[in-house]
């Protein structure tokens, strides 16, 4: 299992440090940010798997950031756990409305934190990230990082693998080249949109005749993974 990346956003370095240590002990990869802007930049660049967000921060506060992230296509799926010093019900409601997936009130024990974090990841991690996905004999198994067609292993490059993984976990939906770049290549890369075409072609080629039709061109828009013709 590849280590999950968690981004901690809190303005107090001491708290970040405390959490970071706890998470690293639990084998997570940890990123830190002390304000909303830096956090946003890191999210775009590093695509963390989960966000630990302090509710009260100078400048753009936690709720604000959460709301913004849920609003943007590329980050709307990112699970968020809010941290707060106050245990008021109000905050909880506001937080959940803003799109937080869970909520922890300070003070909390590292054990508790890790436990809830694990729980959130478990229920928000879509199939295909850890579990295998299978469609019409085409099997993608994240554990072994392999793709096979009716049991026969396929030769597939890293980018094509990520592209296929994204598609198989987001079926029946069109994505523009731009969205694919965001989701598969990662936020801050600067790559020609047409490059997507080339990788689509490589992916199709790798899938071979029997599964070609799953990767569909939507003229004037982008591409789609679909079992329907």
Partner DNA sequence: GTATACATGACAATCTTGTGACAGGCACTT
Partner DNA sequence: AAGTGCCTGTCACAAGATTGTCATGTATAC
Task: State the residues that interact with DNA by CB under 7 A.
Answer: 111, 115, 157-160, 185, 189-192, 194-195, 197-202, 204, 217-222
The token pair at 62 is 């936690």
Q: Are 225 and 168 within 8 A, CB to CB?
A: yes
CA atoms within 13 A on the CB side of 23: 24
Reduced to 3 states, what is the DSSP secondary structure of residue 160? helix
| Strand pairing report for 133-135 and 138-141 | antiparallel
| Strand pairing report for 102-105 and 80-84 | parallel
Task: Give the DSSP H/E element, type plus range, for residue 9.
Answer: strand 5-9
Partner from DNA, a copy of itself, none binding residue 99, C-beta < 5-8 Å depending on class: a copy of itself
Min dist CB 196 to a copy of itself, Å, is: 13
- By CB under 8 A, name the one of 3, 189, 197, 205 that touches a copy of itself: 189
Q: Examine residue 127 and tell whether it contacts a copy of itself (CB under 8 A).
A: yes
Nearer to a copy of itself, 60 or 169 (CB): 60
Partner from a copy of itself, DNA, none binding residue 35, C-beta < 5-8 Å depending on class: a copy of itself
Q: Examine residue 134 and tell whether it contacts a copy of itself (CB under 8 A).
A: no
Min dist CB 88 to a copy of itself, Å, is: 17
Tell me the C-alpha to C-alpha distance, in Å, between residue 41 and each of 44, 68, 69: 5, 13, 11
Partner from DNA, a copy of itself, none binding residue 173, C-beta < 5-8 Å depending on class: a copy of itself
């Amino acid at each position: 299992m590849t280590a999950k990346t968690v981004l901690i956003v809190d303005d107090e370095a001491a708290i970040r440090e405390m959490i970071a240590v706890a998470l690293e002990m639990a084998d997570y990869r940890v990123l830190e940010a002390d304000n909303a802007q830096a956090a946003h930049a890191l999210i775009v660049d590093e695509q963390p798997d989960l966000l630990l967000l302090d509710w009260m921060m100078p400048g753009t506060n936690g709720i604000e950031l959460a709301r913004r992230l849920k609003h943007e296509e590329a980050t709307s799926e990112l699970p968020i756990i809010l941290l707060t010093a106050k245990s008021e019900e109000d905050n909880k409601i506001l937080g959940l409305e803003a799109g937080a997936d869970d909520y922890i009130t300070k003070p909390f024990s590292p054990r508790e934190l890790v436990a809830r974090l694990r729980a959130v990841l478990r229920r928000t991690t879509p199939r295909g990230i850890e579990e295998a996905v299978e469609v019409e004999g085409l099997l993608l198994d994240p554990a072994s990082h392999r793709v096979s067609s009716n049991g026969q292993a396929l030769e597939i490059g890293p980018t094509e693998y990520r592209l296929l993984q994204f598609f198989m976990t987001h079926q029946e939906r069109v994505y523009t080249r731009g969205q694919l770049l965001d989701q598969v290549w990662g936020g801050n890369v600067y790559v020609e949109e047409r490059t997507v075409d080339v990788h689509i072609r490589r992916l199709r080629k790798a899938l071979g005749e029997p599964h070609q039709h799953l990767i569909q061109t939507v003229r004037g828009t982008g591409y789609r993974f679909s079992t329907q013709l």
